C-alpha cells in the first residue's frame, strides 16, 4: 500500500495550491469555526476536539478530523452527512471501530493511529460503498472471518503496524473484491496454506517487516492477478521449491533485507513475468547456475549489499532483457571472461564498493558484451590504474565513475575508442601528473551526477519522493569540479590536475612504475611436501616498492602471509631490486590455486603472469591384489584400488607383459564402480605373476600377486600296452598333465617300483618314462602309473608282454638250411592260394544258381518288380522301374563281381528277412562283426502292392534285428565289396539292404552290386532323383 492516509492526499494537495483551486470558505460562509474549509473539503486537524461536531453542513464531501482526542461519536451526527465521501479519524482515542451509521456515499475511511484492539463487522455493514479502509498503526492482534461483513466491496485494506501474529483460516474470505492489502510491520511468523485463497483479484500484497522465516511451496498460487509482492525486512532464509509458483502475473518482487544465502532456480521457478527483483541487503554468497533461466522479462535486478565474491558466465544466463544491475557493496574480486555476454540490453551497471582492482588492472575486456551500457560505476574498488583494454565492449559508455579509488595514472589508450565517455574523478589524491595525463582535462569538463540512491526501490509515491530528495542531495554533492590531486612530480604535489596548465605537465624520461625481471613459474607439488615460488621486480629511483602475492585473484590467505620473505638490493643507478619468495611448507589441498606476484610503488602497480600451483598426491594402495588359487575353468578375482591426485590409473601386467592371454582373449574384466578384476574361465596359460600398477603424474606404485591354476591330473596321451622281446629294452610312457604338476609313481601288480632295488628299472627325471633294461620274462605284467597333485589322483595301466627271443636260436643255422626252409614256405603258399581260388569259384556259381531260383518266385506277380530293379530315385515322387524294363536289363548285364570279375547271380546269396512294419532287417546266422552297414531307400509304390516281408539272399552274418535309421548316402571304399539289393515293399516303403565286406587282397577292382547286378566303379549308374538312407 502506497500511503498510510490515502483519504486526504488530494485534499492536502489542494490546500497547498489554494491559489489555483476552489475559493476558501470563511466562517461567515457556513464554514465550521473549528475547521479550515476549501469548497466541500473540511480540514479540522489538531483542534483538540473530544467529540464529533454535530453542526457540519450536510453537503460536506471530505472531512479530516485527525490528531484530535475524539473517543466516541454520535451516529446521528455523522449519518446526516449523506454526501460524505471520505473521512479521516486518524490519531484519535478510539479503542474500537466507531459506528458511523448509514453513509451511502462514503468510499474512504481512515482510522490509523488509534487504540483499536478488536475489529467487528457491525460498524461496516451500513457502509455499503466503502472501498478504502485504513486500520494501520493500531493494536489489532487477530482477525477472523467475522471481522468484515459478507460480500463487502472493499478494494484497499491497510493493516500495517499492528500486532497480528497469526492469520486465522478464512479471515479474508468475505473480502473477495480486494485489490490491495498491506500487512506490513506486524508479527507474522508463518503463512498458512489458505491465507489468501479467496483473493483472486488481489494485485498488490505487502508483507514486509514481519517475522516470516520461510515461505512454503505454492503459498501464493491462488493470487492469479498479483502484480506486486513485498516481503522486505523479514527473517527469510529458507525459500521452498516453487515458493512463488503460480504468480504468473507478478511484475515486482521485493525480498531485500532478509537472510537469504543462496539464489536458486528451484524457488524462483514460475516468475516468468517478473520485471523487478530486489534481493539487496541479504547474505547471498552464491548464485546457482541458470537461476534466471525462467525470468526472461526481468529488467531490474538489485543485489547490492550481499556477500558475492565472483561473477561467472553461468550465473548471468537468462538476463537478456535486464537494463539495470546493482552489485554494489559486495566482495566481488573476480569476473569470469564473457560473463556479461548474455546482457545485451543492460544500460546501468553498478559495481561500486567491491574489490575489482585486479579485474580492471590486469584483465582485458572484462565487460565485453555490454553494448548498450551507458553508465558504469566502479567507485571505491581500490583501483590504481586501468588495463588498456579494460573497457573493451562498452561501445555506448557515457559515464564512468572512478570516485574514491587510489588511481595513480590513466592511459589515453584505454579511452581511445570511447570519445563520448565522461569520467567522474573525486577523492583522488595520488595521481601522477605528467604530459601523458593532459588528455583527462577534455574528458572531465562535463560533470555527470551519480544516480540516486533509491532509483529502483518500488512504485510507492513516498519512496519515490524520498528517492528524488536523495538524488538532489547526490547531485549537490557531485556538482563540484572534479578534484584529482597530484603526488608526482614533487613540484606539483598536492595540486589539482585540472588547475594546471599544459606547460606544467612535463614528460618524464622513464616510467617510475615497477617492472618484473623474473616471474613465477607453474609448479606441481606433492601433498605434505615443501615448495616455493619466487619473483624479482625492479623500481627506478629511490622509491620504496612492495612485492606481494595474490592467490586466486585475492590477497594471500593469512596462513601464507608469514611464509613470504623479501630481499631488497639497491642498484648503482639508484634503483631498487626486490626478490620475493613464497615458501609453501607441509603442502595441503588449500595450497592449490592460481598465484600472482604484484609489485606496487607510489607510481603504479605491475602484475606478473598468473601461474598455477597443483597439489598432487603420490598413489597409495587402498586394496592390494592377493595370491589366488583357482580350479581350471572357474573365475579368478583380483582386487586392486588406489587413491591419489590426480586419480591414479590402474593397469595390470602378467609376467612383465601387457598382452597376456586373458587380456588378448577378452576374458579380463573389470566390474563397473568396483575395485575387482576378474579372469573369466581360467586357463592354464593364465597362471603366473600379475602386477597391479597405480600411476599418476606424481609417481607410480606396484603390487604383485600370483595366480595359481589347479587342474586334475590327466594323461596327455593314453597309456598303451607294449610288447618287448626278451633281452631287449622296454619303455613304458606315462605322459601327465595337470596343475600343480602331478607327481608320478609306478607300481607293478600293486607293488611300488623302486629303481634302487632293481638296477634294470630306470625313471626319467619326472618319472614320465619307465625304462626296463634287458627285459626278462618275469617282467611281463600289469604296470600302473599313478598321477597325483593337490587336486586329485588319476591312475593309468599299461600291460607289458614279453616275447621269447627266437632270433638268437636261428643264428646258428647255415645258409643252405635257411634256403630250404624258405622254398618249403613258398610252395605251401602257392598251393594254399590255388585251393582258395577253387573254393571261391565254386561258391560263386552256387550263389548264382540260388539267386535265379528266388527271382523266378516273384515273376508271377504282375505288380511286383524283380530284384534286378534300378537303384533309382527314392521318396514320395520317385518310382522304381518294373522288372524287365530296358533300363533294368542294362544295369543287370553290366554288373560284375568285384572279387572275381565274373557274373554273380543274385539268387546265390543266403536269404534275409526284411520286417517292413517294424522298419528293421532281421538275419539269423553268423556274427555281426563283418557287417558294417545297411542302407534303405524309399520310393512310392502303387497302392495295390502289399508285401509285408521279403526274403533277401545275403550272407548269414546277422544274428539280431538292425533298426533302420537315417545315415549318410552311398560311399565307395577301395578294398571293400558292396552289395545292394532293391526290395519292393508297401507304397510308403522301399528298402535296400547293403553289405560291405573286405575284398580279396589280390583284387584291384572295387564297386558295388545291386540286386545281383554289378556296376563297375568306373561306370556311372543312373542319377538318383531323391534319396533317403537308413542304416
78-106: per-residue pLDDT in tens?
A: 999 999 999 999 999 999 999 999 999 99
1007 and 906, same structural domain? yes
Among candidate residues 183, 269, 176, 265, the one with its CA nearest the CA of residue 225: 176
Rg (CA), the chain: 59
For residue 264, count CB atoms less than 10 angstroms from its CB and return exposed for 0-12, middle for 13-18, buried for 19 or more.
Answer: middle
697 and 598 housed in the same domain: no
Per-residue CA distances from 79 to 128, 147, 707 (Å): 13, 22, 107
763 touches 783 (CB < 8 A): no
The pTM of the full predicted model, rounded to 2 decimals, is: 0.59
Q: Residue 8 falls within a domain, yes or no?
A: yes
Do residue 17 and residue 94 come from a single domain? yes
> Alpha-carbon distance 327 to 334, whole Å?
13
Q: What is the DSSP letter of 505?
A: -
How many angstroms separate the Cα of 632 from the Cα of each of 685, 686, 688? 10, 10, 14
CA distance 11 to 29: 20
Count of domains for the chain = 5
Separation of alpha carbons 164 and 951, rounded Å? 121
Q: By CB neighbour count within 10 A (0-12 exposed, 13-18 middle, 19+ buried), where does 301 fall?
A: buried
Q: Considering 109, 135, 161, which residue would you say is the last residue of a domain? A: 135
Task: Please identify every stretch of the chain with a pLDDT value under 50, giving residue numbers as ranges.
Answer: 1-28, 445-479, 811-812, 854-1031
Sole residue written with cell 474500537: 96
Residue 199 to residue 290: CA distance in whole angstroms? 32
CA–CA gap between residue 617 and residue 116 (Å, rounded) = 72
168 within some domain? no
CB 144 within 8 A of CB 169: no
- Residue 948 to residue 807: CA distance in whole angstroms: 63
What whole-number distance in Å separates Cα of residue 258 and Cα of residue 148?
32
What grid cell was written down for 954? 545275403
**How many other β-carbons are positioned within 10 Å of the β-carbon of residue 252?**
19
DSSP for 515-555, please give it.
Answer: EEEE----EEEETT--EEEEEEEEE-SS--EEEEEEETTEE
Instruction: Collapse the DSSP code of 328 into the 3-class scheme (helix H, G, I; strand E, B; otherwise coil) and give the result.
Output: coil
Name the grid cell of 751: 607293488
pLDDT at 372: 93
Q: Residues 162, 167, 171, 172: is their CA dihedral positive or negative? A: positive
Is 194:170 a contact under the CB 8 Å cutoff? yes
The CATH number of the domain where 576 resides is what? 2.60.40.10
pLDDT at residue 850 in the model:
58
Strand, helix or coil for residue 688: strand
Q: Cα-flanking dihedrals φ and ψ of residue 746, to 5°? A: -120, 150
The DSSP annotation for 229-290 comes to: EE-TTS---EE-TTTTTT-TT--EEE-TTS---EE-HHHHTT-TT--EEE--SS---EE-TT
Place of cell 595513480: 408
> Any alpha helices (H) in 859-906, and if so which ranges?
886-893
Q: Please state the separation of Cα 412 from the chain's center in Å.
A: 50
Q: DSSP string of 773-797?
A: SS--GGG-EEEEEEEE-SS-EEEEE
| Beta pairing, strands 611-623 & 641-645 | antiparallel
> What's the number of CA atoms in the CB half-sphere (13 Å) around residue 238?
7
Please tell me whether residues 521 and 647 are part of one structural domain.
no
Task: Residue 221: name the closest of 235, 240, 242 by CA.
Answer: 242
**What pLDDT does residue 444 have?**
61
Q: State which of 615, 648, 667 marks the end of a domain.
A: 615
- Domain assignment of residue 875, yes or no: yes
Of 135, 155, 186, which residue is a domain's last?
Answer: 135
What is the C-alpha to C-alpha distance for residues 327 and 302, in angstroms, rounded to an integer? 7
Distance from C-alpha of 354 to C-alpha of 351, rounded to nearest angstrom? 6
Q: Judge whether 767 lies within some domain.
A: yes
Report the C-alpha gap between 848 and 236 in whole angstroms.
121
| 323 φ, ψ (degrees, to nearest 5) | -115, -25
**Residue carrying the nine cell digits 577301395:** 974
CB-based contacts of 829, cutoff 8 Å, min separation 6: none
Taken in order 153, 157, 163, 167, is the CA torsion positive or negative?
A: positive
- How far is residue 832 CA from its own chain's centroid? 93
- What's the rounded Cα separation, in Å, for the pair 346 and 368? 12
Q: Note whether 1009 and 874 are same-domain residues.
A: yes
Q: How far apart are CA 611 and CA 297, in angstroms?
A: 41
Domain of residue 645 covers 624-710
Whether 862 maps to a domain, the answer reads yes
C-alpha cell at 890: 542294362
The alpha carbon of 417 is separated from its chain's Cα centroid by a whole number of angstroms, namely 46
Query: Using CA atoms, how far apart are residues 662 and 304, in angstroms rounded to an integer?
Result: 64
CB 906 within 8 A of CB 1012: yes
CB 651 within 8 A of CB 697: no
The domain spanning residue 130 has which CATH number?
A: 3.80.10.10
- Residue 855 included in any domain: yes
Q: Is 512 helix (H, G, I), strand (E, B) or coil?
A: coil
Sign of CA dihedral 568, 572, 573, 574: positive
Residue 940 lies in a domain: yes
Specify the pLDDT at position 15. 39
With 0-12 / 13-18 / 19 or more C-beta atoms within 10 angstroms meaning exposed / middle / buried, residue 71 is middle
Predicted pLDDT at 851: 53
Relative to beta strand 286-287, strand 262-263 is parallel
CA separation for the pair 692, 389 (Å, rounded): 53
830: enclosing H helix or E strand: helix 815-858
Q: Is the domain of 642 the same as that of 588?
A: no
Cβ within 8 Å of residue 448, ≥6 positions away:
398, 399, 401, 422, 424, 478
Helix (H, G, I), strand (E, B) or coil at 612: strand
Asked whether residue 392 is domain-assigned, the answer is no
| Angstrom distances, CA of residue 500 to CA of 196, 435, 471, 479, 504 | 67, 11, 31, 20, 6
H runs (alpha helix) in 351-500: 357-362, 440-443, 461-478
Query: Residue 657 phi/psi, 5° resolution?
Result: -120, 150
Which grid coordinates belong to 645? 591426485
Quote the pLDDT of residue 69.
94
852 in the same domain as 945: yes
Statement to judge: residues 794 and 941 lie in one domain: no
What nine digits make up the cell of 83? Answer: 454526501
Q: Across the strands, what pairs with 751?
A: 748
Dihedral angle, C-alpha 902, 908, 909, 913, nearest 10 °: 140
Residues 545 and 655 in one domain: no
The verdict on 552 and 682 lying in the same domain is no
Cα–Cα distance, 155 to 134 (Å, whole number): 11
Residues 589 and 703 in one domain: no
Q: Are residues 788 and 862 in the same domain?
A: no
CA distance 38 to 62: 10
Amino acid at each position: 500500500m502506497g500511503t498510510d492516509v490515502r483519504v486526504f492526499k488530494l485534499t492536502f494537495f489542494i490546500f497547498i495550491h489554494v491559489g489555483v483551486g476552489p475559493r476558501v470558505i470563511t466562517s461567515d460562509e457556513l464554514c465550521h469555526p473549528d475547521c479550515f474549509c476549501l469548497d466541500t473539503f473540511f480540514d479540522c486537524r489538531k483542534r483538540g476536539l473530544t467529540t464529533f461536531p454535530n453542526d457540519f453542513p450536510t453537503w460536506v464531501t471530505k472531512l479530516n478530523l485527525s490528531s484530535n482526542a475524539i473517543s466516541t461519536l454520535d451516529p446521528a451526527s455523522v449519518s446526516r452527512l449523506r454526501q460524505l465521501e471520505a473521512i479521516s479519524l486518524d490519531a484519535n482515542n478510539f479503542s474500537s471501530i466507531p459506528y458511523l451509521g448509514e453513509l451511502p456515499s462514503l468510499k474512504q475511511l481512515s482510522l490509523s493511529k488509534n487504540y483499536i484492539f478488536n475489529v467487528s463487522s457491525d460498524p461496516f455493514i451500513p457502509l455499503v460503498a466503502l472501498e478504502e479502509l485504513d486500520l494501520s498503526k493500531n493494536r489489532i492482534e487477530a482477525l477472523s472471518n467475522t471481522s468484515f461483513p459478507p460480500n463487502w466491496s472493499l478494494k484497499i485494506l491497510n493493516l500495517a503496524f499492528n500486532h497480528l501474529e497469526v492469520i486465522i483460516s478464512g479471515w479474508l474470505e468475505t473480502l473477495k473484491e480486494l485489490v490491495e492489502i498491506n500487512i506490513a510491520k506486524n508479527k507474522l511468523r508463518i503463512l498458512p496454506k489458505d491465507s489468501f485463497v479467496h483473493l483472486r483479484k488481489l494485485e498488490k500484497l505487502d508483507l514486509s517487516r514481519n517475522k516470516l522465516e520461510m515461505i512454503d511451496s505454492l503459498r501464493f498460487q491462488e493470487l492469479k492477478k498479483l502484480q506486486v509482492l513485498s516481503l522486505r525486512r523479514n527473517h527469510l532464509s529458507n525459500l521452498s521449491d516453487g515458493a512463488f509458483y503460480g504468480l504468473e502475473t507478478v511484475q515486482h518482487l521485493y525480498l531485500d533485507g532478509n537472510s537469504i544465502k543462496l539464489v536458486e532456480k528451484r524457488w524462483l521457478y514460475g516468475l516468468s513475468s517478473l520485471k523487478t527483483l530486489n534481493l539487496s541487503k541479504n547474505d547471498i554468497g552464491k548464485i546457482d547456475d541458470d537461476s534466471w533461466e525462467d525470468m526472461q522479462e526481468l529488467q531490474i535486478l538489485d543485489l547490492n549489499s550481499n556477500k558475492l565474491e565472483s561473477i561467472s558466465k553461468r550465473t548471468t544466463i537468462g538476463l537478456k532483457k535486464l537494463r539495470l544491475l546493482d552489485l554494489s557493496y559486495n566482495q566481488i574480486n573476480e569476473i569470469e571472461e564473457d560473463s556479461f555476454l548474455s546482457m545485451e540490453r543492460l544500460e546501468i551497471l553498478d559495481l561500486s564498493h567491491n574489490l575489482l582492482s585486479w579485474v580492471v588492472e590486469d584483465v582485458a575486456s572484462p565487460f565485453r558484451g555490454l553494448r548498450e551500457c551507458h553508465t558504469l560505476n566502479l567507485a571505491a574498488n581500490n583501483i590504481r590504474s586501468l588495463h588498456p583494454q579494460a573497457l573493451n565492449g562498452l561501445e555506448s559508455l557515457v559515464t564512468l565513475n572512478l570516485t574514491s579509488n587510489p588511481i595513480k595514472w590513466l592511459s589515453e589508450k584505454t579511452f581511445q575508442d570511447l570519445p563520448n565517455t565522461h569520467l567522474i574523478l573525486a577523492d583522488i589524491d595520488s595521481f601522477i601528473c605528467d604530459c601523458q595525463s593532459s588528455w583527462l582535462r577534455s574528458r572531465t569538463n562535463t560533470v555527470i551526477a551519480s544516480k540516486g540512491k533509491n532509483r529502483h526501490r518500488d512504485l510507492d509515491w513516498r519512496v519515490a519522493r524520498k528517492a528524488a530528495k536523495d538524488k538532489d542531495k547526490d547531485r549537490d554533492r557531485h556538482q563540484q569540479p572534479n578534484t584529482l590531486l597530484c603526488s608526482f612530480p614533487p613540484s606539483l604535489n598536492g595540486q589539482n590536475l585540472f588547475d594546471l596548465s599544459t606547460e606544467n605537465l612535463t614528460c618524464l624520461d622513464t616510467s617510475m612504475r615497477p617492472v618484473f625481471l623474473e616471474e613465477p613459474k607453474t609448479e606441481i607439488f606433492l601433498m605434505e611436501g615443501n615448495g616455493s615460488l619466487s619473483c624479482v621486480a625492479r623500481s627506478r629511483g629511490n622509491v620504496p616498492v612492495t612485492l606481494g602475492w595474490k592467490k586466486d585473484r585475492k590477497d594471500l590467505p593469512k596462513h601464507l602471509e608469514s611464509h613470504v620473505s623479501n630481499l631488497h638490493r639497491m642498484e648503482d643507478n639508484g634503483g631498487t631490486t626486490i626478490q620475493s619468495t613464497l615458501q609453501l611448507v607441509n603442502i595441503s589441498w588449500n595450497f592449490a590455486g592460481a598465484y600472482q606476484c604484484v609489485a606496487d610503488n607510489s607510481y603504479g602497480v605491475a602484475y606478473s603472469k598468473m601461474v598455477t600451483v597443483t597439489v598432487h598426491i603420490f598413489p597409495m594402495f587402498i586394496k592390494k591384489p592377493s595370491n589366488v588359487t583357482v580350479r581350471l575353468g572357474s573365475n579368478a578375482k583380483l582386487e586392486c584400488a588406489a587413491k591419489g591426485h590426480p586419480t591414479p590409473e590402474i593397469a595390470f601386467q602378467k609376467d612383465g607383459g601387457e598382452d597376456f592371454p586373458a587380456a588378448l582373449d577378452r576374458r579380463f574384466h573389470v566390474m563397473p564402480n568396483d575395485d575387482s578384476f576378474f579372469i573369466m574361465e581360467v586357463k592354464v596359460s593364465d597362471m603366473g605373476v600379475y602386477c597391479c600398477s597405480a600411476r599418476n603424474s606424481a609417481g607410480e606404485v606396484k603390487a604383485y600377486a600370483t595366480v595359481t591354476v589347479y587342474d586334475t591330473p590327466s594323461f596327455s596321451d593314453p597309456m598303451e600296452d607294449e610288447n618287448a622281446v626278451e633281452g631287449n629294452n622296454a619303455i613304458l610312457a606315462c605322459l601327465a598333465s595337470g596343475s600343480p604338476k602331478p607327481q608320478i609313481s609306478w607300481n607293478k601288480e600293486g607293488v611300488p617300483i623302486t629303481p634302487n632295488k632293481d638296477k634294470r628299472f630306470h625313471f626319467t627325471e619326472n618319472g614320465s618314462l619307465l625304462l626296463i633294461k634287458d627285459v626278462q620274462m618275469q617282467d611281463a605284467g600289469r604296470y600302473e602309473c599313478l598321477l597325483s597333485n593337490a587336486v586329485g589322483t588319476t591312475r593309468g595301466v599299461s600291460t607289458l608282454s614279453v616275447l621269447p627271443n627266437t632270433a638268437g636260436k636261428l643264428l646258428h643255422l647255415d645258409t643252405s638250411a635257411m634256403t630250404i626252409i624258405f622254398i618249403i614256405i613258398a610252395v605251401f603258399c602257392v598251393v594254399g592260394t590255388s585251393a582258395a581260388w577253387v573254393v571261391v569259384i565254386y561258391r560263386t556259381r552256387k550263389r548264382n544258381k540260388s539267386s535265379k531260383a528266388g527271382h523266378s518266385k516273384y515273376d508271377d506277380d504282375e505288380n511286383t518288380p524283380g530284384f534286378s530293379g534300378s537303384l533309382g530315385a527314392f521318396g514320395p515322387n520317385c518310382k522304381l522301374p518294373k522288372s524287365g524294363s530296358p533300363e533294368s536289363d542294362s544295369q543287370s548285364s553290366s554288373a560284375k563281381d568285384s572279387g572275381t570279375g565274373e557274373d554273380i547271380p543274385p539268387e546265390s546269396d543266403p536269404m534275409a528277412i526284411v520286417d517292413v512294419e517294424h522298419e528293421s532287417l532281421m538275419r539269423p546266422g553268423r556274427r555281426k562283426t563283418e557287417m558294417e552297414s545297411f542302407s534303405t531307400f524309399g520310393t512310392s509304390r502303387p497302392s495295390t502292392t502289399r508285401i509285408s516281408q521279403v526274403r533277401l539272399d545275403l550272407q548269414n552274418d546277422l544274428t539280431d534285428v538292425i533298426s533302420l535309421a537315417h545315415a549318410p548316402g552311398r560311399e565307395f571304399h577301395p578294398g571293400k565289396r558292396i552289395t545292394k539289393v532293391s526290395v519292393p515293399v508297401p507304397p510308403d516303403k522301399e528298402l535296400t539292404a547293403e553289405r560291405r565286406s573286405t575284398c580279396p587282397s589280390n583284387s584291384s577292382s572295387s564297386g558295388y552290386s545291386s540286386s545281383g547286378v554289378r556296376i563297375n566303379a568306373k561306370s556311372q549308374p543312373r542319377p538318383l532323383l531323391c534319396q533317403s538312407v537308413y542304416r
